[in-house]
Chains A and B, each alone.
Chain A
Amino acid sequence: LSRQAVQRAREAFLSGRTRPLEFRLQQLHALQKMIAEKETEIATALKQDINRSQYDTPLLELIGIENEIKLAVEKLGEWAAPRPAEKNLLTISDEVYIQPEPLGVVLIVGAWNYPWGLTLMPLVGAIAAGNAAVVKPSELSECSSLLLRALLPRYLDKDLYPVVTGSVSETQELLRLRFDHIVFTGSSTVAKLVMEAAARHLTPVTLELGGKSPCYIDKNCNIRVACRRITWGKFINCGQTCIAPDYILCEPCIQGRVVECIRQTLLEFYGADPKCSPDYGRIINQRHFNRIMGLMEGYTPVVGGQSDSSQRYIAPTVLKDVPPHSRLMQEEIFGPVLPIVTVSDMDNAITFINEREKPLALYIFCSDKKAIKKMIAETTSGGVTVNDVMMHYTLNSLPFGGVGQSGMGRYHGKHTFDQLSHHRACMVRSLGMESVNLARYPPQNRQRARRARMALTSPLIDMSKRTLVWAILATIIGLGLLIALLVILLIAAGLNCTCWYWRGFYN
């Protein structure tokens, strides 16, 4: 079944109907309509899947997609236009440019934690770039997955953008087929299998994975505000966010204050019993529930710790003085459990971070600009937000992606368009000017070689220091001469005026 869907998508792509920008804009508008009209249904599906609060849906998923569509619709003409490139002497009379072109059929494999955002945002870019796209939502967010399968064909072209649902075996079958690009959001374990399958067809991939995103709190910052922002980012979607602050690094002297501030913030956000708050989510399934509970084994939390297996509820939990070698610190938590690991100072924190795999995000809470610069320069990560969490994800002019084990490739805004396009180098020459070309043909001699060398040299402008000095001197002399000329003219005009003045006077 998926084979047929992919085949149809390829045929539809080869028919060329995605090429005109009007078609792509029309599809994007239709997608926008779908999200606007079906918001309630989407929210219901999310509530059933992951107990997503009514407000979290637009906040976390739909606003992002809407903004992406608005941007794409506004900028598509600009993005898809040929981009001129720099020429050398040999190509001075040619048309030289880079033409962004669609890749073909793109496979988008979504994740269960933000089933709409993480599936539809790449789709916006795929449509904008003129590709066909096979969408494979995660089976773990079952209601959303089925809803997407029902809705998408009603709004978008049925052949170009099929939705394929199913679990592991269907995904494996899909991966055996040939795509022109695969965008995968998920865990690094599955990512390796995806990349290996892609290798068989030499298909490029964009992998949006995860990791343990560290959150460093400097002792001299506004701890109250810091903790409020961290609490928001950590417990949203019940901690099941790839860029959630995974763990906190701070000095022992502020650990107590951090715990207190988080406790207070949790009260403000979710009330005394988060289980009753409509704004607090649940764990996606039993397996993950058990996994997260297992990570906490043997540790006594200082905040929270309560759970209810029947509801897959885990209270917002904080643990302090967590040892670096504990199970909690070995894998991405992806749940509402926040360990605090103490470090002696910022340098120690930097070493701690660099000893581990490159994370998807790094968070630094600090008021000292120099220290912030240092920490950014001495570490690496997919992205960084300083003095807040997750916000770099929300600005679509910033490229979003990982590095190392946290992924490869990037998207959001124009970056998705570029990632899912082929940038074709184009040179349009004419058959005239053959005399210039003669220098490169055999039979060869020294003269011709020298001429050819000169014609091929780029850049066109000599960037050496000598030329720069000469250019500056020439400009100064030129300006000087110009000023001198102006002065002379003014004096002459002035003299003339005074002449007439005196003449007039005497007349």
Chain B
Amino acid sequence: MESQSQVLERLRTAFESGVTIPEKFRRTQLTNLMTMIKDNEEQIVNALHKDLTKPKFEAILSEVEIVMNELHCALGNLTSWMQPEYVSKNLATKLDECFVRKEPLGVVLIIGPWNYPMQLLIVPLIGAIAANCAVIKPSEVSAATDNLIMELIPKYLSKDCYAVVSGGAKETQALLTNRFDHIFYTSQAVARVVLQAAAVHLTPVTLELGGKCPCLIYGRVNATAAAHRLVWSKFFNAGQSCVAPDYVLCSKATCDALVPALRQVLEDFYGSDIQKSPDMSRIVTPKHWTRLMGLLNRTKGKVVVGGEHDEKDRYIAPTVVVDVAEDDALMEEEIFGPILPILTIESLEESIKLAKRKEKPLAFYVFSDESSVLENSSSGGFCSNDGIVHMTLPGLPFGGVNSGFGHYHGHWGFEAFSHRRAVMLRGWALERLNALRYPPYSDEKLSWLRWTTSPKSCSIM
């Protein structure tokens, strides 16, 4: 068994040999990754089912399809992403070649979480294959997927350039003492630890964290349509999504219309005995199950839908709680489970104020015909009249503000793992023009210089 330092040594040697730079190599790796997912779709679905009792539909949609989309995007655009970008010049540099070169960073570390163990590990990897070598650290909590990734990656990707390291907290801490050229971390628990370890080596970091994503429902809203989308985005993966609507803010009238709609939609989706439905996930570990039940037990709100649970099955029914106050137990931390608190706030302005009192969330949801919410709020991303889908488009950057920093998806992923190197190729001629800047200095030289370097001077040409 290779030690961590041996793995890193091997990767660094491979990177320094320059093997990851040619476009052909990157394309081959991305194509192999695509083959890996296509050939092993069934195993992936099974592993996810073992870890999270993830229904096949959810697994395909959120772990296979989304990865395939990103791969198509990368393969289709890699050539243009790799091209240098030429920039506009001023008079002093008119005859020079000025461009930005995209270069790899080196050996990067990608740490994945347990809630979407394939997507949140492989999509950053796609960006990293922008000519870097990568160490991938899947979450040990989603053990079956962890093992599957450990088995598959070396079979399809270059063994010298990409390595999978498994293990728990101790192994991760040991891994973090090494020097990487970029660290990509998705999760919540140890973000500060990761960042502090990165500070020691001045390593840049991308942090994809979470938060309490508010969902505001105001104005004239079709309760059934809203309920469909709300239920889908909330209870997908049993609420264990970083962009799931965490809590709902609406007026009493809306709440009264919404709750029966939610109840009906839940029955339409999962049937009358939800525990038996093959389309509902489970909580990932007994520890998280206990945490969620703790929140449910401590809440001062009223459970109007659901509430059933089964410890052996790690099952919690989709639950809706009303009459929740701002200081309730359910409002303390990110719920990350199938419990939906509804806070009744009469006015939209008050709701926005409440949401703003909390940390900036990863996503902000509004079901309304009101347009003011976007300008008066801040969040990683924003979606109106639906949930989660904004992060399925590779054209939109996915990332947080306070709930992390940095972005990825599509070309943003490529950029996250690249260094943009400014290059200016000057000629030998025009030395007379250059002489304006040499000592001995004079007022006249200065005024000429001001003119030639001004951004507007090109308009004269």
Contacts and interface: CB of A to CB of B under 8 A. Distances in A.
Partners in one complex: yes
Interface of A: 19, 53-56, 58-59, 63, 66-67, 70-71, 74, 85-88, 90-91, 96, 98-99, 101, 103, 180, 188, 191-192, 195-196, 198-200, 202, 204, 207, 209, 221-222, 225, 228-229, 232, 268-271, 277, 279-280, 354, 367, 372, 376-378, 380-388, 391-392, 394-401, 403-405, 407-410, 422-431, 434, 437, 440-444, 448-449, 452-453, 456-459, 463
B199 A196 contact: yes
A392 B442 contact: no
Contact of A195 (B18, B66, B198, B434): B198
Contacts of B132: none
13 contacts: A59-B446, A63-B450, A74-B456, A96-B390, A180-B401, A387-B426, A391-B96, A391-B424, A396-B455, A397-B89, A427-B390, A429-B383, A456-B61
Interface of B: 16, 18, 21, 55-57, 60-61, 65-66, 69, 72-73, 75-76, 87-90, 92-93, 96, 98, 100-101, 103, 105-106, 181, 191-192, 195-196, 198-200, 202, 204, 207, 209, 221-222, 225-226, 228-229, 232, 268-271, 277-280, 367, 374-375, 378-386, 389-399, 401-402, 404-407, 410, 419-428, 431, 434, 437-443, 445-446, 449-450, 453-456
Contacts of A388: 424, 426, 434
Nearest to B93: A395
A457 B367 CA distance: 25
A391 B380 contact: no
B75 to A, nearest CB: 8
Contacts of B196: 196, 199-200
B384 A397 contact: no
Given A195-B199, A423-B397, A453-B65, A397 B228 contact: no
A463 B76 contact: yes
A426 B386 CA distance: 12
Given A53-B441, A427-B383, A441-B228, A98 B423 contact: no
A392 B397 contact: no
A456 B66 contact: yes
B131 to A, nearest CB: 11
Contacts of B420: 399, 401, 410
| Highest count of chain A CB atoms <10 Å: which of B57, B93, B96, B98 | B57
A204 B73 CA distance: 28
A56 B439 CA distance: 10
A429 B199 contact: no
A429 B386 contact: yes
A66 B229 CA distance: 51
Contacts of A19: 375
Contact of A85 (B277, B375, B395): B395
Nearest to A443: B279
Given A55-B442, A96-B395, A425-B390, A382 B198 contact: no
A98 to B, nearest CB: 6
Contact of B439 (A269, A378, A383): A269
Contact of A434 (B228, B280, B421, B440): B228
B386 A425 contact: no
B421 A437 contact: no
B132 to A, nearest CB: 12
Contact of A86 (B199, B394, B434): B394
B197 to A, nearest CB: 9
A148 to B, nearest CB: 22
Given A395-B424, A463-B72, A426 B395 contact: no
Most buried by B among A55, A222, A381, A409: A55
Contacts of A88: 69, 392-393
B385 A430 contact: yes
A403 B105 contact: yes
Nearest to B382: A426
A426 to B, nearest CB: 4
Contacts of A452: 57, 61
A451 to B, nearest CB: 11
B422 A398 contact: yes
Contacts of A449: 57, 60-61
A63 B92 CA distance: 14
Contact of A431 (B222, B381, B389, B439): B222
Given A96-B393, A394-B93, A403-B421, 13 more contacts: A67-B454, A71-B455, A86-B394, A199-B195, A200-B192, A400-B422, A403-B105, A404-B106, A404-B181, A422-B401, A427-B383, A440-B232, A463-B75
A424 B378 contact: yes
B269 A442 contact: yes
A19 to B, nearest CB: 7
B382 A427 contact: yes
B424 A392 contact: yes
Given A19-B375, A422-B401, A426-B381, A395 B442 contact: no
Contacts of A463: 72, 75-76
A222 B427 CA distance: 11
Given A388-B426, A426-B374, A453-B60, A397 B396 contact: no
A422 B378 contact: yes
A96 B392 CA distance: 12
A40 to B, nearest CB: 14
Contact of B423 (A188, A232, A386, A424): A386
Contacts of B392: 88, 90, 456
- B93, B199, B422, B437 interface centre (most CB from chain A within 10 Å): B422
A459 B450 contact: no
Contacts of A399: 100, 420, 422
